[in-house]
């Protein structure tokens, strides 16, 4: 056993988060911690790694065992390059190698006893270097970086210039190279594309140590873990097997608990009716029998009513109109941004009732293609045609369908003025927004909350062709399952982009893989795609062009990342400009107020007050000069 948690309890402001949590992790075991958002999973990890003390209970790590922890906001040294940061893990081998080189140089001019001593030292150094895999650490480091989606051209990039997601990938690579006895990962797949996730799966499967993961990626958990620890309503339950095994056993237990509760309630009701009937006879014997049954009834340990599964969020999508059989026809579509060519000569059709998933590496143009279909971007060439009576409902990653200045209540009520206040509140409550939450402004919501509001609007749209861009992002497992059920019951047509392989497996009839600037069609779900991909790709892209295809993908990824960084820089500048304008407006308003105050008779004769106002006015003028200069630079 490498880790034992015994009776862990934790509360915040008298609200219980974790209560009597007990489980253990064996050496080399791969385990998952699951639960809805807010269940306390990350809190439990922080207690385990010592970042937070429990109110009660203890965490025991086996003697002489090490652990490594990847949090959702893992820190890295921003003064290093990507390669240097990972190389810091192997510093002992770098130093050892340097001593070996120095020893080699010294041996050139040495003789006699000095040479013998140097040779002994060199033999010891090389032995130590060899047993610590010194001859393979550079290739191992490069393999980890490439596996996590970095190309060689990025290795010398400064960490200070990376996005939050890229920094998390660097931290993950650093942790994997440390090779602790227990790896603890909090949402490790959040910033990885499908290829990187598949690489990480294989790495962790073959890892010679224990692994504990918090993740909403069910396909990832299915591939890796053999134990699931569920946190539900402050309590923990342990299930053996992968995620699918856990889900099946959990449903069996839920059904059994519900049936036991219903059977007991029926029995209690039956006994109460018998007792009432016996009393109605009003005879001594019948009254005694009634009293006896009452005593038996009092001794029954009444079962608590089980929590009804997934009653907190219901999603029903009902098309208002039935579209024609031909929903979408795309011909010869191409799109580039400057020198970056995303895709060209794209052709595909979608028929009524089809559920089509579009997959591909980051930067291949999936979101761009969806934006073209929603007429948010023009294509460079080609066109597309919607069928008869097709009405699009669009869910995008940036949630452009939302209005930042509105409250949640206004967002729904303004678009559907016939709804009563109660009906609007009921819709929002179905997506976990209750009480004063409905008066929050859209711009103040988290990414996950905005996603739920967008889904609520989608539910109200009555569309018959849903176009969804990463609909499961920021959703917990329960919410994903609700969305899966809704899409599987949906009679309309669906085209979506997703990296969630479990979700694709559950909901897709067909897969379009955007690779090497074209779409490749697979008539099945994600498992079918995996089975057929190598055969299809070897037919479409012969071996002699494989290197060219890889180079094209690498260049596309680099250009895409540069584009994303430029977009982030522009967003920051716009934000800074807005803040600058707000400060200028506030100071100008205060300056006008000072001038008005100085003109009042009672102030004009008060020397002390005038001096105070004059000093403040001078300070404001100096601040305004600096802000005007900053505004010119930003604008």
Whether pLDDT at 567 is above 60: yes
Domain boundaries, the chain: 82-162, 246-299, 326-552, 560-634
* 494-533: pLDDT as tens digits: 999 998 999 999 999 999 999 888 899 999 999 999 999 8
211 close to 180: Cβ distance less than 8 angstroms: no
Reported as type and span, the H/E element at residue 393 is strand 392-395
Both structure tokens of 461: 């749209």
Report how far residue 468's alpha carbon sits from residue 455's, in angstroms, rounded to the nearest whole number: 10
Q: Is the CB of residue 53 less than 8 Å from the CB of residue 42?
A: no
284-299 vs 243-281: helix axis angle to the nearest 10? 160
What pTM did the predictor assign?
A: 0.72
Is 49's pLDDT higher than 50?
yes
- DSSP per-residue letters across 30-94: EEEEE--TTSSHHHHHHHHTTSS--SEEEEEEPTT--EEEE-TT----TTSBHHHHHHGGGHHHH
So what's the pLDDT on residue 114?
Answer: 86
Interval 94-103: pLDDT, tens: 999 899 899 8
CA-only gyration radius of the chain, Å: 32
What is the C-alpha to C-alpha distance for residues 574 and 585, in angstroms, rounded to an integer?
17
In this predicted structure, the answer to whether residue 410 has a pLDDT above a threshold of 70 is yes
Q: Measured between alpha carbons, how far is residue 121 from residues 97, 127, 137 in Å?
A: 13, 10, 22
41 touches 78 (CB < 8 A): no
CA nearest to 539, candidates 521, 554, 556: 521
Tens of pLDDT along 224-249? 999 999 998 899 999 999 999 999 99
Q: Is the pLDDT reported for residue 341 higher than 80?
A: yes
The single residue listed with the structure tokens 């920051």 is 572
- Cβ neighbors of 449 (< 8 A, separation 6 or more) are 433, 440
pLDDT tens digit string along 126-141? 898 888 888 888 899 9
pLDDT at residue 312, as a whole number? 47
First and final C-alpha spacing in the chain: 61
Secondary structure of residue 534 in the 3-state scheme: helix
**pLDDT over 80 (residue 579):** yes
Strand, coil or helix: 171: helix
Is there a contact between 229 and 22 (Cβ–Cβ < 8 Å)?
no
CB 550 within 8 A of CB 597: no
List, for residues 360-376, the tens digit of each pLDDT value.
887 788 989 999 999 98
Listed residue (407, 398, 399, 401) closest to 442, CA to CA:
407
Asked if residue 405 lies in contact with residue 442, where contact means CB atoms within 8 angstroms, the answer is yes
Neighbours of 299 (CB within 10 A): 7
pLDDT over 90 (residue 290): no
| Residue 327 · residue 390 · CB < 8 Å | yes
Sheet containing strand 210-214, strands side by side = 67-70, 182-186, 210-214, 30-34, 227-232, 235-240
- DSSP H or E stretch at residue 382: strand 381-386
Domains 326-552 and 560-634 share a fold: no
CA nearest to 462, candidates 367, 389, 354, 386: 389
The predicted pLDDT at position 132 comes to 85
Residue 225 near residue 245 (C-beta atoms within 8 A)? no
Fold observed for domain 326-552? Rossmann fold (3.40.50)
Task: Check pLDDT > 70 for residue 441.
Answer: yes
Output the average pLDDT for the chain.
86
Evaluate if residue 212 carries a pLDDT over 80.
Answer: yes
Q: What angle do CA 343, 355, 383 make, to 5 degrees?
A: 35
Q: 21, exposed or middle or buried, with CB in 10 Å at 0-12, 13-18, 19+?
A: buried
- Return the top range by mean pLDDT from 146-160, 279-293, 377-391: 377-391
Over residues 42-67, the mean pLDDT reads 92
Q: Residue 11 forms beta bridges with which residues? A: 16
Please give the pLDDT value at position 547.
53
CATH of 560-634, one of 1.10.1060, 1.10.287, 1.25.40, 1.10.3470: 1.10.287
Q: Is 237 helix (H, G, I), strand (E, B) or coil?
A: strand
How far is the C-alpha of 467 from the C-alpha of 395, rounded, in Å? 6
Q: At what angle do helices 546-598 and 607-634 cross, to 10 degrees?
A: 160
């Amino acid at each position: 056993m490498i880790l034992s948690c015994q009776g862990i309890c934790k509360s915040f402001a008298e609200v219980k988060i974790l209560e009597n949590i007990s489980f253990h992790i064996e050496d080399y075991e791969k385990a998952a911690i699951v639960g809805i958002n807010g269940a306390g999973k990350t809190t439990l990890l922080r207690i385990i790694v010592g970042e937070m003390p429990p109110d009660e209970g203890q965490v025991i790590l086996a003697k002489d065992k090490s652990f490594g922890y990847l949090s959702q906001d893992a820190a890295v040294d921003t003064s290093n390059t990507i390669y240097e940061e990972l190389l810091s893990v192997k510093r002992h081998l770098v130093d050892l190698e340097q001593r070996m080189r120095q020893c080699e140089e010294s041996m050139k001019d040495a003789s006699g006893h000095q040479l013998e001593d140097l040779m002994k030292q060199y033999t010891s150094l090389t032995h130590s270097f060899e047993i610590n895999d010194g001859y393979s650490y550079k290739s191992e480091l490069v393999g980890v970086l490439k596996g996590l989606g970095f190309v060689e051209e990025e290795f010398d990039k400064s960490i200070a210039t990376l996005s939050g997601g890229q920094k998390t990938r660097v931290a993950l690579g650093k942790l994997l190279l440390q090779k602790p006895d227990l790896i603890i990962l909090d949402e490790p797949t959040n910033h990885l594309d499908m290829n990187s996730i598949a690489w990480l799966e294989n790495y962790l499967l073959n890892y010679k140590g224990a692994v504990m993961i918090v993740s909403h990626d069910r396909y990832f958990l299915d591939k890796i873990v053999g134990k699931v620890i569920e946190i539900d309503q402050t309590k923990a339950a342990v299930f053996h097997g992968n995620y699918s095994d856990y889900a099946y056993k959990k449903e069996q237990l839920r059904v059994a608990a519900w049936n036991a509760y219903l059977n007991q309630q029926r029995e209690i009701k039956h006994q109460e009716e018998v007792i009432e009937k016996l009393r109605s006879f009003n005879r001594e014997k019948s009254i005694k029998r009634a009293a006896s049954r009452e005593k038996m009834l009092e001794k029954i340990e009444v079962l608590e009513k089980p929590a009804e599964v997934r009653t907190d969020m219901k999603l029903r999508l009902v098309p208002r109109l039935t579209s024609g059989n031909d929903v979408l026809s795309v011909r010869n579509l191409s799109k580039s941004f400057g020198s970056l060519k995303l895709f060209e000569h794209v052709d595909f059709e979608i028929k009524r009732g089809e559920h089509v998933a579009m997959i591909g590496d980051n930067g291949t143009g999936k979101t761009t293609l969806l934006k073209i279909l929603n007429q948010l971007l023009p294509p460079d060439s080609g066109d597309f045609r919607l069928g008869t009576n097709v009405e699009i409902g669009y869910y995008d990653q940036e949630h452009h369908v939302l209005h930042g200045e509105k409250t949640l209540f206004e967002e729904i009520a303004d678009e559907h003025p016939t709804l009563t206040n109660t009906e609007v509140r009921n819709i929002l409550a179905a997506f976990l927004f209750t009480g004063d939450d409905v008066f929050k402004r859209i711009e103040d919501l988290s990414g996950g909350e905005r996603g739920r509001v967008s889904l609520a609007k989608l539910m109200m749209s009555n569309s018959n062709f849903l176009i969804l861009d990463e609909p499961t992002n920021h959703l917990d497992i329960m919410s994903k399952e609700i969305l899966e059920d809704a899409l599987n019951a949906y009679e309309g047509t669906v085209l979506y982009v997703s990296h969630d392989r479990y979700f694709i497996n559950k909901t897709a009839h067909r897969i379009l893989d955007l690779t090497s600037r074209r779409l490749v069609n697979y008539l099945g779900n994600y498992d079918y795609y995996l089975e057929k991909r190598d055969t299809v790709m070897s037919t479409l892209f012969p071996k002699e062009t494989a290197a060219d295809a890889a180079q094209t993908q690498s260049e596309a990824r680099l250009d895409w990342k540069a584009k994303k960084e430029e977009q982030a820089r522009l967003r920051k500048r716009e934000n800074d400009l807005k803040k600058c304008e707000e400060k200028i407006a506030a100071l100008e308003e205060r300056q006008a107020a000072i001038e008005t105050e100085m003109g009042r008779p009672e102030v004009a004769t008060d020397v002390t007050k005038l001096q105070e106002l004059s000093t403040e006015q001078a300070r404001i003028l100096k601040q305004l000069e600096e802000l005007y200069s900053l505004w010119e630079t930003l604008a």
